[in-house]
């Protein structure tokens, strides 16, 4: 009789554990369906911003920001031996920080330096300059290469960061990034809702 | 706490009385906050050591320090210059030159001399952070200071000598 009780208790325990596991699985969100037909056009809007010279010129793989875009007539490295900084910070070198010339606002002088708060290069792992749409897309979803951000964090960063906002208000005759911060934020939200698909081709 | 004169004056869209601390002294001025700091230094305060070169932060002749960091004063709006400003006139005296000034004399760096105030201020900023700079450190710090006379080899030699002089004074 004792043996029977032990067996019945064990069976009951196993059953309840199995039921609990099933209940838990039913609460786990199902993998988001990827809707490339909706998502890729949204990504294209995002890529148009990220790859634009106002954004990409400071998202470089090496230590030198670029001067590129329509009004530059070509691509060249930033003059004056400007570099990321020996400490890797992106804020320049001792004696010649980015903020030696780039202040909190755009210069009003013809060809004067552009400005926004916190002017600096993006970290080396966040390379956009010269990268394909697929490459940037993969990078933006990789927390090791996007500043350890969720996609929602990326969207908020794009919408709210003052240095990012400069890309749409670069001053003088510089071509702004397409759209706006809000429109790009919305595009990221829409892209996420569609499963954040990336283009397959490089 | 620093006062953002720029933001305050932009509220009423006119000039604003402000107090600048330059070379350890306070100066009360009334200026459009968008006026370049260099204008305020030279025309309102009488500090003519910093020079006007290009007006777009592309030559370095106007370099001064704000809170110890070099800035191109031709492009920094005076309303944003909310820290302690140091010009070439404030780093040493005839009786006690700054090590960089002393080295500049000993190495006879200047030719026409127009860019030297800015060169020296950038060199001072470099040595404040890097006591014994390499050639690369010097090139990286001084790339924004142009010298039409081409005194770059002497500038490099003077910075290395200044590093020695500065360390010897400590």
Tell me which chain A residues have a C-beta less than 8 angstroms from the C-beta of B82.
none
ipTM comes to: 0.91
CATH number for the domain that contains residue B58:
3.10.20.30
Cross-strand pairs, A93: A96
Rounded mean pLDDT of chain A? 88
pLDDT of residue A31: 62
Asked whether the beta carbons of residue B141 and residue A94 sit closer than 8 angstroms, the reply is: yes
* Residue pLDDT, tens place only, A27-58: 555 567 899 999 999 999 999 999 999 999 99
Same domain, B115 and B79: no
pLDDT band at A25 (very low <50, low <70, confident <90, very high): very low
Which of B34, B55, B122 has its CB closest to that of A95? B122
User: Helices H, strands E: what count in chain B?
Assistant: 6, 5
The secondary structure element, H or E, covering residue B154 is helix B152-169
Whether A80 has a pLDDT exceeding 80, the answer reads yes
Q: Residue B34 contacts by C-beta under 8 Å, 6 or more apart in sequence? A: A108, B6, B77, B78, B79
User: Which of the two residues, A44 and A200, has the higher pLDDT score?
Assistant: A44
> What domain range includes position B108?
99-169
* Whole-number percent of chain B with pLDDT over 90: 89
* Residue pLDDT, tens place only, B76-134: 999 999 999 999 999 999 999 999 999 999 999 999 999 999 999 999 999 999 999 99
Same domain, B53 and B86: yes
Same domain, B18 and B82: yes
Asked whether the beta carbons of residue B144 and residue A94 sit closer than 8 angstroms, the reply is: no
- Total number of domains in chain B: 2
Q: Which of B30, B59, B90 is the last residue of a domain?
A: B90
Report how far residue A171's alpha carbon sits from residue A125's, in angstroms, rounded to the nearest whole number. Answer: 28
A146 to chain B, closest Cα gap in Å? 28
Same domain, B163 and B104: yes
Contact B10, B57 (CB under 8 A): no
Same domain, B57 and B106: no
Contact B140, A96 (CB under 8 A): yes
Q: Which of B31, B66, B90 is the last residue of a domain?
A: B90
Please give the residue of chain B at the shortest CA–CA distance from A99: B71
What is the distance, to the nearest Å, from the Cα of residue A9 to the centroid of all Cα atoms in its chain? 54
Q: Which of B71, B90, B109 is the last residue of a domain?
A: B90
């Amino acid at each position: 009789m004792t043996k029977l009780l032990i067996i019945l208790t064990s069976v009951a325990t196993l059953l309840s554990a199995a039921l609990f596991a099933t209940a838990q699985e039913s609460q786990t969100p199902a993998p988001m369906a990827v809707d490339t037909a909706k998502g890729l056009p949204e990504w294209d809007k995002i890529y148009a911003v990220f790859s634009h010279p106002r954004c990409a010129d400071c998202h470089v793989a090496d230590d030198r920001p670029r001067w590129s875009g329509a009004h530059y007539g070509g691509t060249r490295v930033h003059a004056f031996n400007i570099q990321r900084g020996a400490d890797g910070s992106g804020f320049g070198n001792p004696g010649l920080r980015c903020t030696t010339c780039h202040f909190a606002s755009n210069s009003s002088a013809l060809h004067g330096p552009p400005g926004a708060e916190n002017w600096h290069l993006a970290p080396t792992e966040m390379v956009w300059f010269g990268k394909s749409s697929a490459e940037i897309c993969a990078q933006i979803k990789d927390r090791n290469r996007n500043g350890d951000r969720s996609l929602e964090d990326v969207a908020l960063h794009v919408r709210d960061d003052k240095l990012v906002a400069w890309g749409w208000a670069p001053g003088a005759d510089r071509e702004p990034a397409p759209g706006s911060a809000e429109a790009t934020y919305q595009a990221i939200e829409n892209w996420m809702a569609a499963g954040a698909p990336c283009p397959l081709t490089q | 706490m620093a006062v953002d004169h720029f933001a305050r004056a932009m509220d009423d869209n006119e000039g604003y009385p402000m107090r600048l601390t330059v070379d350890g002294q306070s100066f009360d001025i009334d200026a459009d906050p968008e006026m370049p700091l260099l204008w305020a230094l030279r025309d309102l305060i009488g500090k003519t050591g910093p020079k006007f070169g290009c007006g777009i932060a592309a030559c370095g002749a106007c370099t001064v320090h704000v809170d110890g960091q070099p800035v191109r004063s031709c492009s920094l709006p005076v309303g944003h210059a909310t820290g302690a400003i140091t010009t070439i006139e404030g780093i040493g005296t005839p009786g006690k030159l700054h090590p960089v000034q002393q080295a500049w004399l000993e190495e006879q760096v200047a030719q026409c001399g127009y860019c030297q105030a800015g060169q020296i201020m950038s060199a001072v900023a470099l040595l404040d952070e890097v006591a014994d700079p390499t050639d690369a450190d010097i090139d990286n710090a001084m790339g924004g200071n142009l010298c039409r006379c081409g005194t770059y080899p002497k500038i490099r030699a003077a910075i290395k000598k200044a590093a020695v002089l500065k360390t010897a004074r400590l």
